Amino acid sequence: MTHRERVLCTLDHQQPDKMAIDFGAMRSTGINVIAYNRLRAHLGLPFTGTRLYDVFQQLAEPEPDILERFGADVVQLHRHSPSFGVSLDAWRPDTLSDGSPCLVPAGFHPVRNADGSLEVVVNGRVIARRPAGGYWYDSVHHPLADAQTLSDIDHHDFGVIGAEEQAYLQRESQRLYDSTDRAILGEFGGNLLECGQSDFGYGRFMEMLVAERELVEYYLDKLVESHLRNLQIYLDCVQNRIHVIQLGDDLGTQEALQLSPRLYRDLLKPRQEKLFRFIHEHSAIKVFLHSCGAIYDILGDLAEIGLDIINPVQISSPNMTPAKLKKEFGKKLVFWGGGCDTQHILPRADLQEIRKHVEENIAAFAPGGGYVFTQVHNIQQEIDPERIVTLYETAVRCR
């Protein structure tokens, strides 16, 4: 099978010739740029221009030699401006905090403060801040923080995919489709809960879910209208040149859902269904949802409303063990992730423990198809290259 055929077979819940693997094909299966450079040095690979494509999370774009080394079957179609409105059209050289080289988007120019922190300033306003010694940026601007009325929502700019990004999506989806036999995952977004938390501020929006239902529902309806408009534009641009479309909404915490199942079913489920059904009605593309945390209680709901793929499969959370998930939802959902616990095992266990952990997770998830191997969320800066090599060489050996 080609890489692409392997993934498509997997997504149809059929047994492929060997297990599908993802190394960095979306913004929650990625690798920190410093960890990536260390990995290249460890493997004796030349530095040909590491691209820091996600400046928010500090993620590297994996190069073809790394993809080949780790048997990766998927590549990513980026959004035109995935972080802070900075486009990926042009690049400039930069140096990372460890002294290693990289390329950053040419329009990315954070302001360095006297205390060593970095700030992203747009139109004179600080929108994100990275503390001294920090690994990534935190959003600090919430445009609807003071919103009180429906009129305030009406005046909010929900954003639209413009002509420049449309041309980019058409061009890049065609280039990827023609130049690789790997499956293509297109980043879209489509967040609901997370958009509210970003627009209003986390604390306020969580209170609003209960205390200001009229305002919340009005906002969510406007947000869904915007997502549907943008989905139509996006799908028109990419046609069926991509195979997976990635949406996101972190519905879980480490230990439980962020909101009760009842509140999820009242507020979010019917609106997510509109997005999932729209994609299925207008394309043959599989629907992928990134949703961190302990989300066991709503996995059945997500499958019911048309979700195809769930990520990152946070196996350390309650009721999220691989065997349990595969048994209960393996015929309904594709699990994309869950290959290695990046909080407790990857940074702390010895190499033999990592191998055993990965082997056990693959043995639970992979039989019968419906599984794409990758770790739980991104590989962070402090992870030694030996651990990353152990993780992916074990996956390649067991596939």
Tokens of 141: 């601007």
Average pLDDT of the residues in 65-86: 97
pLDDT digits (tens, 9 = 90+) for 147-165: 999 999 999 999 999 999 9
Contact 197, 206 (CB under 8 A): yes
Tokens of 389: 């090599």
Contact 315, 377 (CB under 8 A): no
Query: In the chain, what are the domains?
Result: 3-28+61-89+142-398 (3.20.20.210)
Mean pLDDT of the chain: 98
pLDDT digits (tens, 9 = 90+) for 221-257: 999 999 999 999 999 999 999 999 999 999 999 999 9
Say whether pLDDT at 314 is over 90.
Answer: yes
Say whether pLDDT at 170 is over 90.
Answer: yes
Enter the pTM of the model: 0.97
Say whether pLDDT at 283 is over 90.
Answer: yes
Taking residue 398's Cβ as centre, other Cβ atoms within 10 Å add up to: 18
Taking residue 341's Cβ as centre, other Cβ atoms within 10 Å add up to: 21
Q: What is the DSSP letter of 349?
A: S
Say whether pLDDT at 279 is over 90.
Answer: yes
Q: Which pLDDT value is given to residue 48?
A: 87
Tokens of 269: 């489920």
Q: What percent of the chain has pLDDT over 70?
A: 100
**Residues paired with 257 in a beta bridge:** 252
Average pLDDT of the residues in 189-202: 98
Per DSSP, the three-state class of 141 is coil
Average pLDDT of the residues in 315-325: 98
Q: How many Cα atoms are found within 13 Å in the side-chain-facing hemisphere of 29? A: 33
Per DSSP, the three-state class of 315 is coil
Residue with token string 């940026």: 137
pLDDT digits (tens, 9 = 90+) for 354-396: 999 999 999 999 999 999 999 999 999 999 999 999 999 999 9
